Amino acid sequence: MTLTIDHLDCSLGKRRILHDVSGLSASPGEITALIGPNGSGKSTLLKAIAGIEAASGRIRLGERQLDALSLEQRSQCLYYLLQDTSTQAALSVFEAVLLSRRTQVAEPAATALSAVERALTSLELDPLAERELVTLSGGQRQRVAIAQAIVRKPKLLMLDEPTSALDLHHQLQVLDYLRRLARREGIVIVLAIHDLNLAARFADHLWVVKEGRHIVSGMPEQVLTPERLRDIYAIEAHVEWPIDAPPRVIPLSALHRLGD
């Protein structure tokens, strides 16, 4: 079930944010990383795919024509995990993850409980299960949000900077888990991410957006070159692809201003 996007336009208020975003595709079993500067439209693109922001254009997931489906119908097969996971809700971690499952499927309590339990275990959250969301640190809350996402077993999972608040252990643990999840279940995973080292290491495919336009997409080796990075981010960078070690993207200096 490949995700393909063509001629996607999206406006927020009076501002046109996405300009004819075309030619994007993401394959099942793979991790696609969405990169681009601040304000380039990454979050907006993911929300438009999820149906959270109104957009025009063609969005297909395998046979399904997503753009013809309502928000509720789309939520049956996809999930968008938003960038800001802060909350003041007086819910326990377990309750929050269970809630996510319950808003999607009606099923016997025992089935739901064991699904929640598995999701918590895969994110190493079992010790926190009874804690209230407000008492968690930012990174812990982010992992709970990821558990809320995977407990729904979406066919298309979109995560907006899912590792932005995580420590090094959990950055690797979460991304490694997501990669195995994609391979095992054959789902499409798209994640917006700023850390290019992680993107280079874990992504099978990259989408680059800038100023609301699709600039380039392809394999990390093709996209993450010093020339391209200069175009995209206005930085000088050194890139290495060692055979026996993870790829390295070393930013050296910021060049001219990067317009918003």
Partner 1 sequence: MKATTRLSHTAKPESTAVRYLARQRRQRRLIALAALAVLISLLVDVATGPGAYALPDVLKALVAPSEVSRILEIVVWEIRLPVALMAIIVGASLAVAGAEMQTLLDNPLADPFTLGISSAASFGAALAIVLDFGLLPVAGTLLLTGNAFLLAMFASLAIWALSRLRGVSIQTMVLMGIAIMFFFNALLGILQYVASAESLQQLMFWSLGSLDKASWGKLGLAGLALMITMPAFIRARSQLTALRLGDVQAKAMGIDVGRLRLRMLLCCALLSATAVAFVGTIGFVGLVGPHIARLLVGEDQRVFLPMSALTGALILSLTSILSKTLIPGILLPIGLLTALIGLPFFVSLILRSRRETWR
Binding positions for Mg ion, rule: CB under 5 A? 42-43, 83
Phi and psi at 246, nearest 5°, equal: -60, 155
Residues 49 and 79 sit within 8 Å (Cβ to Cβ) = no
Letters for 4-43 (x = contact with ligand ATP by CB under 6 A, - = none) are --------xx-x-x------------------x-xxxxxx
Distance of CA 39 to the CA centre of its chain: 16
Which H or E run contains 109?
helix 109-122
Q: What span, in angstroms and rounded, lies between the C-alpha atoms of 71 and 216?
A: 28
**Residue 100 C-beta: closest distance to partner 1, Å:** 6
Between CA 165 and CA 212 the distance in angstroms is 25
Of the CA atoms within 13 Å of residue 66, those in its CB half-sphere come to: 32
Q: Taking the complex as a whole, how short is the minimal distance between the CB of residue 120 and partner 1, in angstroms?
A: 5
The nearest distance, CB 216 to partner 1, in angstroms, is: 28
* Selected binder of partner 1 within 24, 55, 96, 249 (CB under 8 A): 96
Nearest approach, Cβ of 40 to ligand ATP (angstroms)? 4
Among 9, 124, 195, 204, binds partner 1 (CB under 8 A): 124
User: Given the complex with ligand ATP, which of 116 and 198 has the nearer CB atom?
Assistant: 198
- Name the phi and psi angles at 147, rounded to 5: -65, -40
Closest CB to Mg ion among 156 and 239? 156
Residues that bind ligand ATP (CB under 6 A): 12-13, 15, 17, 36, 38-44, 83
